[in-house]
Amino acid sequence: MMIAGYNITKQYVSGGMFSTNKAVVKAVQGVNIKIKEKETVGLVGESGSGKTTLARLLIGLEEVTEGTILFNISDGELNEYEEALKKGDEGVIKRIEGMYDITKIPRSRLRKLRRYMSIVFQDPYSSLDPRMTVIDIIKEPMIATGYLSGEEANKRVLELLEKVGLPKWFAYRYPHELSGGQRQRVAIARALSTNPKFIALDEPTSALDVSTQAQILNLLKSLQRDEGLSYLLITHNISVASYLSDRMYVMYAGKLVEVGEREQVIKNPKHPYTIVLMSAVPKLGKIMQRVPVKGEPPNLVNLPTGCHFHPRCPYAFEYCGWNAVEVAEDLKYLLEGKYYDIGGEKIKVDVLSELKIRVEGLGYQDLEKIIKNEIEAVMSFKSIDSIKKESENAVSIELKEYITPKLYQLDDGRLVSCLLYDEKFINRK
Amino acid sequence: MDKVLEVKDLELKFVTRRGVFHALNGVNLELYKGEVLGVAGESGSGKSTLMLAIGGLLPSNAWVTRGEIVYMSKNIIQELVKEGDTKYVKKRNEKALKKLNEKLQSIRGSKISTVFQDPMTALNPVLQVGYQIAEAVYYHNPSVLARRILARYKATKDDMREILSILKNKEDYNEKLLKFIKGKNLEGLEEQVLFIWERNDLHDIKKEKLILSLAGEKVPRTALPFLYKIARSNKLERTPILSRFIKRILIKEGYRKAVEILSILKVPNPEKVVYMYPHELSGGMRQRVAIAIGLINNPEIVLLDEPTTALDVTVQAQVLDLVRSIRNKYSSSFIFVSHDLSVLYEVSDRIAIMYAGKVVEVGSKDEIVSKPLHPYTQSLLRAVPSIESEKISPIPGEVPDLRNLPKGCMFHPRCPYAMDICKNQEPPMYNLENGHKVACFLYGEKK
């Protein structure tokens, strides 16, 4: 196994040292990821879903808040490790983590390991040093990791240029003399220079034109075949991911929502978010019937409770994560608008706790009628467990407790993080 | 069909320190009334430059050497092209552009408006969203705002009750309402009343209350004569101090109009959003605000320059649906620029393909996608990965350097079918059936 990551979590604290309102940005939350040898794993998701952060964590450019990342571990030892995790065998866990876990090994050893992993960044206009010639740019990682130096390194640069389809005399040019596609080839040559086993491709073609994008994609494909590389391809472009990947990981708001073979995820998505995502991709030659979705990805400081996708999900039901704030907001909106005749501005809606609301100035029957009428249109009302009469014109509402979905394994082997695939709710589909 | 806009043989160069860039090399394009024209091309193909030229937003180093842009049967860039002009004189060119800018002030923003790619840079970060929308109306159509205020000032509760009875009478209330408002001389009121009445998230009682509350607006007495004047002449007050006082009143009205347009564009909570600053909004919301500024003056032509490129797929899908729905609501014609053909296929009626500053193929979207004729279009379609595709074949070579364009057909160095004639002669535009046009010798008379 090239990479096996367990429970990877990364949080950033925003705000400076003296800032009074510090906020915790939860960029990646408890992600498990595995990348085999010679495999391309596509990681898709919208901006802010944490895909770039995950890639930076996997190659040790950033420190994890929590979690284990085992790099280049043999399958036998990986099995041993997973057995030990199940049994809770501390000794074995410690031994294997001490050898392979890039979050725990000493820096000096990590530096040597760096030779085997590298990254291609999104924007070839800002990822190449404008004051270095192409040869120096490509040589730098070899020298930094101590892989090659001097004449040998120069020779390797010329080989690499040929490999990525650039003429040899480009070696003494500066990045500003090159076009976008040529720059990205230089960036790929740099990533290849230390003969790595694993490359993270962070949106490698999103800054390029369509015709150059196709050249780069085909180059990446043939390099993988020749060099036996493992790729982690990060992209928001589903078609690009589908073209290169063997398996796909779909992320939403810092969590994995679906993991499976490429064919499964693209042709027959199971998680509601994946369904929405696939139907949102415009296709040439046909006008899509879209699965409607409202709103935009959540802000990572204030994540929705339960399943992060539930406020936008077209299939959400009562246990998906509704809390009192959401229900109160929907109720207020109805009372001020559509049901203005009942009491207008006199009605007060208070949130008492995460699952409890108190409504003043409204009779029990009226509230029951509103909820009954709107339960089909307003999804959050489905989570209402009971309505209690407190006095003549005060009612309290209690919500059902939500369940946070885990990754459930389906019959075809893929993992989906949606309550619809929980044993308890399987017949709701 | 009527032509709203025609670009004829437009040639434009940018003179820079690093040389002369041939950005447009004889562009011919027509825009018909009510259609959405998609313009596709790679970076450097001149699609954005063309939008700048049509929108009257050319920078000072742009040098138009030939061609016309015909809008309302008038060439709007007449000043820029001089017969027999072969040398670039910086001062003279800048002067001509400045003059043109002043002339276009009355067209730009009100008749032809532009929505830019990146709403974060297109919007002013220190002004409230509502102010920026209001400003667009204030400068171009102050009479609209003045009329709205005056209508509320003049209307009485009884008028409102009568309007309500018309509205409640369901059958063709639109016409009757217009007639009533015209009779009472209350123009400007109809859009406010209809906006409230046609909301479906409000109870009828609330709607009635809101409509009744429109009547009898209090307006400072000193402002009244000026508002009447602006409503009549559509010109802004130029007196110092007083003009700022009037501006405050009109901008405040602009906020009300901004709420209306934002709710048409499906922005949740528009009443709150107008008081927010651009950084408080998400990408999709910002783009909707930019679109609102483009649409608020009901322009004849809206230029959308890559409006979805900076957005996520699901949000892009929302914006595309929005563009499709506003084209039914507004009578404008749209030019939608994108590098993504599948996006254009969703929204446009016709698609024009640009390469190296020329339109190489125009046709209905289905013909372009299913029966592409120009070799560039064909290779472009083969190079785009799609969910179904197993193989993509890239176009060999690179986009040509605009300072040093190939002779003859610009595409010949990359073209699989290049013939001898392509290297020396520029292909003309051949008209084929169904309005399909292509600039390639393969489709000319046999030679």
CATH number of the domain residue A127 falls in: 3.40.50.300
Query: What percentage of chain B exceeds 90 in pLDDT?
Result: 30
* One-letter amino acid of B44: G
- Among candidates B201, B369, B394 on the partner chain, residue whose Cβ is nearest the Cβ of A338: B201
Residue A285 within a domain: no
Residue A296 within a domain: no
Q: Which residue of A has its CA nearest to B283?
A: A296
By the 8 A CB rule, do A414 and A260 touch? yes
Average pLDDT, chain A: 88
* A104 plus A241 within the same structural domain: yes
The last residue of one of the domains, among A218, A238, A265, is A265
What pLDDT score was predicted for residue B446? 44
* A225 plus A150 within the same structural domain: yes
Residue A7 is part of which domain span? Answer: 3-265
Q: Which of B312, B338, B380, B384 to mutate to test the interface with A (most CBs of A within 10 A)?
A: B312
Residue A246 within a domain: yes
What pLDDT score was predicted for residue B182? 85
* A82 plus A219 within the same structural domain: yes
Q: Which of A211, A218, A294 to mutate to test the interface with B (most CBs of B within 10 A)?
A: A211
Q: Give how far B108 is from chain A: nearest CA, Å.
A: 31
By the 8 A CB rule, do A114 and A104 touch? no
Alpha-carbon distances of A227 from A37, A55, A160, A223, rounded to whole Å: 11, 21, 12, 6
What pLDDT score was predicted for residue B196? 87
* A348 plus A242 within the same structural domain: no
**pLDDT greater than 80 at residue B83:** no
Which three-class secondary structure string do you get for B22-83?
A: EEEEEEEEEEECCCEEEEECCCCCCHHHHHHHHHCCCCCCEEEEEEEEEECCEECCHHHCCC
What pLDDT score was predicted for residue A247? 93
Domain count, chain A: 2
* A35 plus A131 within the same structural domain: yes
CB-based contacts of B279: which residues, under 8 Å, 6+ apart?
A: B125
- Compute CA B114 distance to the chain's CA centroid, rounded to the nearest angstrom: 4
The bridge status of strand B301-305 relative to strand B112-115 is parallel
Residues in chain A within 8 Å Cβ distance of B316? 280, 282
DSSP A112-154: HHGGGEEEE-S-TTTSS-TTS-HHHHHHHHHHHTTS--HHHHH
Residues in chain B within 8 Å Cβ distance of A239? 384-387, 389
What is the mean pLDDT of the segment spanning B5-15?
91
Question: Does A257 contact B at CB distance below 8 Å?
Answer: no
Cβ distance B383 to A211 less than 8 Å, yes or no, reads yes
Tokens of A118: 């590298």
Q: Catalogue all structural domains in chain B, each as residue range(s) with its CATH number.
A: 3-111+299-351 (3.40.50.300), 129-270 (no CATH)
Q: Give how far B201 is from chain A: nearest CA, Å.
A: 5
Residue A362 within a domain: yes
pTM above 0.80, yes or no: yes
Q: Give how far A225 is from chain B: nearest CA, Å.
A: 15
CB-based contacts of A125: which residues, under 8 Å, 6+ apart?
A: A180, A183, A207
Closest CA to B332 of B294, B389, B383: B294
Q: Give how far A306 is from chain B: nearest CA, Å.
A: 21
- Among candidates A266, A285, A338 on the partner chain, residue whose Cβ is nearest the Cβ of B370: A285
Q: Which residue of A has its CA nearest to B387?
A: A239
Residue A368 within a domain: yes
What is the mean pLDDT of the segment spanning B372-380?
92
pLDDT band at B358 (very low <50, low <70, confident <90, very high): very high
Q: Give how far B415 is from chain A: nearest CA, Å.
A: 13
Q: Tell me if residue B10 falls in helix, strand or coil.
A: strand
* A10 plus A120 within the same structural domain: yes
What pLDDT score was predicted for residue A10? 92
Residue A124 within a domain: yes
Find residues 80-109 of chain A whose CB sits inside 8 Å of chain B: none
* A261 plus A333 within the same structural domain: no
**pLDDT greater than 70 at residue B131:** yes
Question: Does A157 contact B at CB distance below 8 Å?
Answer: no
Residue A412 within a domain: no
* A224 plus A361 within the same structural domain: no
- Among candidates A47, A285, A333 on the partner chain, residue whose Cβ is nearest the Cβ of B312: A47
**pLDDT greater than 70 at residue B411:** yes
Alpha helices in A348-423 (DSSP H): 364-374
Residue A261 within a domain: yes
The last residue of one of the domains, among A265, A284, A309, is A265
* A332 plus A214 within the same structural domain: no
- Among candidates A179, A281, A341 on the partner chain, residue whose Cβ is nearest the Cβ of B205: A341
